[in-house]
Amino acid sequence: MKRLIVSLLTVSSLLFFFNSCKENCSLEFLKVDHTKVLRSPLANDTTKGYCKVDIQFLYPIAGVEDSVLKKIQHTLLLFAFDTTSVDLNPKASVNDFVQKRFDEYTLLINQTDSNTVLLLNNQEWILNTLILFNDMGILSYEINKYERIGRDIRKNITQYLVFDLKTGKKLSERDIFEDGYEAKVTDLLKKQIMLDNGFESEEQMINNGYFFAMNIVPNHNFNVTENGISYVFNPDEIAVYSMGQTEVLIPFNKLKSCLKKDSPIEELLKK
């Protein structure tokens, strides 16, 4: 059964997200909620042989000038759906993504005989999005992707995106930190992980599952809120897969020495 819902967030929802947002950064969002399942005609068992796509995608529709809005929309579409077409609007991009997944699955069915085990492997493509922060000219946005074909999990990641709402630019670490920030932030990340988990040394951290500690570096996957800057490390990035994601929040008071003056997040530092 197909379910496609496009709804404007209610006033109460907007207040929940943006209760302290100033006039120059108040955004309105639409949500595309699209769930659809395509079943293989060769599978008698309804728990096998299907392709499921489940998408909950939030995108801004108003609140800043049109050129800035379109820039943010296109960046969100690029990261959410890997689309290179700037002509597709958000709803069309969702439909295009779903259709491609079903076309691929249909091709598999047509090219595979009914005795092939691969045919009965289920496919799942799940994407959801969250608004983490929208205030003082900054939007922090989260994309979660889960992709599974049979027993093979192809993707299980969180991607953070931070935007300057005055320009629509996706902010990088170099927009926020002073030159030479890498070593300082790396040290802060390691110390914060040890503090959060009660580890007394880096060796103890490694012995407790953080086998890839050499990858604990600024990885460009961060968000900004009034509390500080959070980094996320996806499964297998710095720790064994069974430990899942590691999120590390570094408070602004620990970052003062490496934050750039006059950066787009300067107003947050004054709070």
User: Can you give the pLDDT at residue 11?
Assistant: 39
pTM beyond cutoff 0.75: yes
Same topology for domains 3-164 and 173-269, yes or no?
A: no
- Which neighbouring-strand residues pair with 134? 139
Domain 3-164 belongs in CATH node 3.30.565.40 = yes
Tens of pLDDT, residue by residue, the chain (271 residues)? 334 444 444 333 443 343 334 445 568 899 999 999 998 877 666 667 889 999 999 999 988 999 999 999 999 999 998 766 556 788 888 888 999 999 988 888 777 665 555 555 789 999 999 999 988 889 999 999 999 988 888 899 999 999 999 999 999 999 999 999 999 999 999 999 999 999 999 999 999 999 999 999 999 999 999 999 999 999 999 999 999 999 999 999 999 889 998 899 988 887 6
What are the boundaries of each domain within the chain? 3-164, 173-269
What lies within 8 Å, CB to CB, of 21 at 6+ separation is 27, 134, 135
User: Can you give the pLDDT at residue 84?
Assistant: 60
Among residues 118, 114, 127, 113, the alpha carbon closest in space to that of 53 is found at: 127
Parallel/antiparallel/unpaired status of strands 123-135 and 50-62: parallel
Look up residue 57 and give its amino acid: F
Q: How far is CA 174 from CA 92, 102, 158, in A?
A: 33, 40, 21
Q: 228 near 251, Cβ under 8 Å? A: yes
Q: 19 near 136, Cβ under 8 Å? A: no
Q: Given strand 50-62, what is the order of strands in its sheet?
A: 3-8, 28-39, 50-62, 123-135, 138-149, 152-164
What's the half-sphere exposure (Cβ side, CA atoms, 13 Å) at 212?
13
SS in 3 state form for 112-149?
CCCCCHHHHCCEEEEEEEEEEEEECCEEEEEEEEEEEE
Cα gap 265→260, rounded to integer Å: 9
Q: 110 near 92, Cβ under 8 Å? A: no
User: Can you give the pLDDT at residue 113?
Assistant: 63
Look up residue 50 and give its amino acid: Y
Q: 114 near 45, Cβ under 8 Å? A: no
Question: Of all helices (H) and strands (E), which one includes residue 254?
Answer: helix 252-255
Among residues 31, 88, 33, 21, the alpha carbon closest in space to that of 60 is found at: 31
User: Can you give the pLDDT at residue 164?
Assistant: 95
User: Can you give the pLDDT at residue 151?
Assistant: 81
User: Can you give the pLDDT at residue 153?
Assistant: 86
Among residues 221, 140, 160, 228, the alpha carbon closest in space to that of 188 is found at: 228
Class of the CATH domain delimited by 173-269: alpha beta
Helix intervals (H) in 64-218: 66-81, 90-111, 173-176, 181-197, 202-207
